[in-house]
Chain A
Amino acid sequence: MTALLEVSDLVKRFAQPRSVIDRLRGKEASAVQAVSGVSLTIGANETLGLVGESGCGKSTVGRCILRLEKPESGTIRLAGDDISSLGEADLRPLRSRLQVVFQDPFASLNPRRTVGDAVAEPLRNFTGLRGADLAAEVAELFERVGLRRDQIGRYPHEFSGGQRQRVGIARAIGPRPDLIILDEPVSALDVSVQAQVINLLMDLQEDFGLSYLFIAHDLAVVRHISQRVAVMYLGQIVETGPRDAVFAHPRHPYTASLLSAAPILDPAKRSAAKRIILTGDLPSPSNPPSGCRFHTRCPFVQPVCRSTAPEPVHTGSGQTAACHFPL
């Protein structure tokens, strides 16, 4: 099976700014390795949930796939073609196949242009639609995402957060992409509106045969929308697998602790005994711990974890975990 998207050994560094004095002294620029060798695949019509805490590099992975960032090394194949080192001109046709929805729909819409304009722009760029046909398509898209036709001429400030996110989604599906990167698309929304947007995304996926990379910090949201899950910690994927397997039997201690930290609603299903509360904070990505990057916070740490980085191992039922002692 060839996957729609295949990312292997992706590395992205960001140079850290040097002070004037350090420059004069000729000190080397240090770099933060935001993504350190990430590999993942997404099949056609599939949703991969990419979960992790802030600063783990999950958004950078998304931005590299979109080629909003140029990766340091590694390959990104979209339907077999390597797009990791394409130049600007060659990237342009790619943009219609790869779309994105960001977290803050207000920041990603131009306040001086109507929302209809925002939705029409990618259509104008990537399709031959003009004039009445274009207007008809925009109207169609508005209805498809649950907005009214008479709202086309309005400006972003006239919409609520949920409606703006619908505009962002209409804009993304317009050019009929193969893959949409959803970067925390519902985390800025109220709970009741969040449910509407998640349901809409699932419906659109079925109707248009879309694939999603769903980037989020909220495990419960990821569990609802994804078929497969990848968990990131400090620039690396520590566990991947089918949703049901990962949530029922997490193999990596980090996944297990993330799951046990998430609040459980039903008091009958809550048991304080199983809970792992991690101590300490996320270490700085500019100076990651030696060996297994999770060893400073891992409740099951052994001496080997401090010295040797674990390779991902298959742990059955399609899961892999990068741990010396998978659970």
Chain B
Amino acid sequence: MSGGAPLLEIDRLSVEFRGRDGTSRAVDDVSLTLHAGEIVAIVGESGSGKSVTSLAVMRLIPDPPGRIAAGRILLDGIDLATLDEAALRRIRGKDLAMIFQDPMSSLNPVLTVGRQIGEAIRLHDGGDDTSIHARIIEVLELVRIPQAELRINQYPHQLSGGMRQRVMIAMALSCGPQVLIADEPTTALDVTIQAQIMALLRDLRERLGTAILLITHDLGVVAENADRVVVLYGGRKVEEGPVDAVIRSPRHPYTRGLIGSMPHLDNELVAGERARLTEIQGSVPANAGSLPGCGFADRCELADDHCRAVRPPLAEVVPGRLSACWKHELLRETGI
């Protein structure tokens, strides 16, 4: 972890959505920090609040029905949570950029790739057509798109899935953001293309010092690419720590369950036999966030009445590692 002030600091963020059945909290009291040149992963299953967190940072939560109910989002000291739309427009795409899961639905099908990348440059940095053109070519080459001069005039449908995702990344990088939010950047891609894109993101971090907030459900991607990981469950942070330490010895039963239930290529299998995967019983309850006790208690084999009645605080269990579990001591010696 690098010293100094963090580039991005999410401080006790809560996001609520109003519906017919009352208000539900999608993100509840989540804090995290991101330093320059760092890759921090937010991992969780559907409904964990990981995407809502990233949208809140971009201030893209549709209001109504959603709203940031509490907390601050500090980017270089400026609180994004309170900025007005005009001020946000100056920051979005400039200091803070985002890439989305599905490049096909996030690119405009009737505009050329060059036009779409040029839009942010024109808006934030300005310049004449020649300098904008040169900058577009530069970012296309930055994300290693071959034949940039040809691609600049092509439409999204003429590109493969991996190429489209590179265009998305080029667009995000066009104005040299300090912070890049990558929401499931490789989920829609094949494994060989996924490896290319993640290598590209790591490389950009090295070359440009961009801080990356990586949102994913895939612990394998986290393990290989992130420095620190934040595990969300039911809208709350349940564990945080350096990636290798968390994966080697998780200190929250949910993290342990996620690792155990994930088929991965490096777990031991007996030759000729098939191995059962460790299951997490049940599924994420819709009301995990509003339960009085631990949101994971219903699915946890360690849970007792105390867990169901009193919410466990997020506590530092080892220096640099947080866990929200009353029983974290029991997990100390169990690895994968």
Residue ranges of A at the interface with B (Cβ–Cβ < 8 Å): 53-54, 160, 162-163, 190-196, 198-199, 202, 217-221, 223-225, 227, 242, 244, 247, 257-259, 261-267, 269-270, 275, 277-279, 281-282
Bound-state Cα–Cα, A196 to B281, Å: 8
Selected contact of A262 from candidates B161, B191, B244, CB within 8 Å? B191
Selected contact of A220 from candidates B263, B271, B276, CB within 8 Å? B263
Name the A residues within 8 Å of B276 (CB-CB): 199, 202
* A–B pairs, 8, beta carbons within 8 Å: A162-B283, A191-B258, A195-B279, A196-B279, A199-B279, A227-B274, A265-B219, A267-B244
Asked whether, in the complex, the Cβ of B190 is within 8 Å of the Cβ of A54, the reply is yes
Minimal beta-carbon separation of A287 from chain B (angstroms): 14
Asked whether, in the complex, the Cβ of A244 is within 8 Å of the Cβ of B219, the reply is no
Selected contact of B220 from candidates A53, A198, A262, A278, CB within 8 Å? A262
Name the B residues within 8 Å of A265 (CB-CB): 219-220, 223, 247, 259, 262, 264, 266-267, 336
Asked whether, in the complex, the Cβ of B191 is within 8 Å of the Cβ of A217, the reply is yes
Asked whether, in the complex, the Cβ of B192 is within 8 Å of the Cβ of A264, the reply is no
Cβ < 8 Å to A, chain B residues 190-249: 190-196, 199, 217-221, 223-224, 244, 247-248
Cβ < 8 Å to A, chain B residues 252-291: 257-267, 269, 271-272, 274-281, 283-284
Asked whether, in the complex, the Cβ of B265 is within 8 Å of the Cβ of A53, the reply is no
Minimal beta-carbon separation of A43 from chain B (angstroms): 14
B46 at the A interface (CB under 8 A): yes
Name the B residues within 8 Å of A242 (CB-CB): 272
Asked whether, in the complex, the Cβ of A224 is within 8 Å of the Cβ of B274, the reply is yes
Name the A residues within 8 Å of B274 (CB-CB): 202, 224-225, 227
Bound-state Cα–Cα, A77 to B219, Å: 41
The residue on A at minimum CB distance from B159 is A281
B130 at the A interface (CB under 8 A): no
B11 at the A interface (CB under 8 A): no
Known contacts A162-B283, A191-B261, A202-B276; A277/B220 CB under 8 A: no
Name the B residues within 8 Å of A247 (CB-CB): 265
Residue ranges of B at the interface with A (Cβ–Cβ < 8 Å): 45-46, 160-163, 190-196, 199, 217-221, 223-224, 244, 247-248, 257-267, 269, 271-272, 274-281, 283-284, 336
Minimal beta-carbon separation of B262 from chain A (angstroms): 5
Name the A residues within 8 Å of B259 (CB-CB): 265
Asked whether, in the complex, the Cβ of A261 is within 8 Å of the Cβ of B244, the reply is no
Asked whether, in the complex, the Cβ of A264 is within 8 Å of the Cβ of B45, the reply is no
Bound-state Cα–Cα, A262 to B266, Å: 10
Bound-state Cα–Cα, A133 to B191, Å: 47
Minimal beta-carbon separation of B138 from chain A (angstroms): 21
Known contacts A195-B278, A199-B279; A267/B223 CB under 8 A: yes
Minimal beta-carbon separation of A118 from chain B (angstroms): 20
Bound-state Cα–Cα, A199 to B278, Å: 9
8 closest cross-chain pairs (CB), A and B: A263-B220, A195-B261, A195-B277, A192-B280, A53-B190, A261-B195, A190-B45, A220-B263
Bound-state Cα–Cα, A194 to B277, Å: 9
Bound-state Cα–Cα, A114 to B192, Å: 40
Known contacts A190-B45, A198-B263, A244-B271; A270/B224 CB under 8 A: yes
Bound-state Cα–Cα, A160 to B162, Å: 31
Asked whether, in the complex, the Cβ of A266 is within 8 Å of the Cβ of B218, the reply is no
Bound-state Cα–Cα, A68 to B224, Å: 40
Selected contact of A263 from candidates B162, B193, B218, B267, CB within 8 Å? B218
Name the A residues within 8 Å of B217 (CB-CB): 190-191
The residue on B at minimum CB distance from A193 is B283
Bound-state Cα–Cα, A307 to B288, Å: 60
Bound-state Cα–Cα, A227 to B277, Å: 16
The residue on A at minimum CB distance from B191 is A261
Minimal beta-carbon separation of A169 from chain B (angstroms): 15
Bound-state Cα–Cα, A225 to B276, Å: 9
Name the B residues within 8 Å of A53 (CB-CB): 190-193
Asked whether, in the complex, the Cβ of A199 is within 8 Å of the Cβ of B191, the reply is no
Asked whether, in the complex, the Cβ of B264 is within 8 Å of the Cβ of A277, the reply is no
Asked whether, in the complex, the Cβ of B190 is within 8 Å of the Cβ of A192, the reply is no
Asked whether, in the complex, the Cβ of A262 is within 8 Å of the Cβ of B265, the reply is yes
Minimal beta-carbon separation of A310 from chain B (angstroms): 20
Name the A residues within 8 Å of B284 (CB-CB): 190
The residue on B at minimum CB distance from A51 is B191
Bound-state Cα–Cα, A18 to B217, Å: 41
Bound-state Cα–Cα, A270 to B223, Å: 10
Given A54-B161, A195-B280, 17 further pairs, Cβ under 8 A: A162-B283, A190-B284, A191-B217, A195-B278, A196-B279, A198-B263, A199-B276, A218-B263, A223-B269, A242-B272, A261-B195, A262-B265, A264-B265, A265-B223, A265-B336, A267-B223, A281-B193
Name the A residues within 8 Å of B272 (CB-CB): 227, 242, 244
Asked whether, in the complex, the Cβ of B190 is within 8 Å of the Cβ of A217, the reply is yes
Bound-state Cα–Cα, A160 to B46, Å: 11
Asked whether, in the complex, the Cβ of B199 is within 8 Å of the Cβ of A277, the reply is yes
* Residue with the highest number of chain A CB atoms closer than 10 Å, among B162, B247, B261: B261
The residue on A at minimum CB distance from B162 is A281
Minimal beta-carbon separation of A57 from chain B (angstroms): 14
Bound-state Cα–Cα, A232 to B221, Å: 24
Asked whether, in the complex, the Cβ of A258 is within 8 Å of the Cβ of B266, the reply is no
Bound-state Cα–Cα, A297 to B222, Å: 26
* Residue with the highest number of chain B CB atoms closer than 10 Å, among A244, A261, A269: A261
Asked whether, in the complex, the Cβ of B223 is within 8 Å of the Cβ of A258, the reply is no
Asked whether, in the complex, the Cβ of B223 is within 8 Å of the Cβ of A277, the reply is no
Name the A residues within 8 Å of B193 (CB-CB): 53, 281
Bound-state Cα–Cα, A242 to B271, Å: 10
Bound-state Cα–Cα, A30 to B263, Å: 41
Asked whether, in the complex, the Cβ of A258 is within 8 Å of the Cβ of B265, the reply is no
Name the A residues within 8 Å of B264 (CB-CB): 220, 262-265
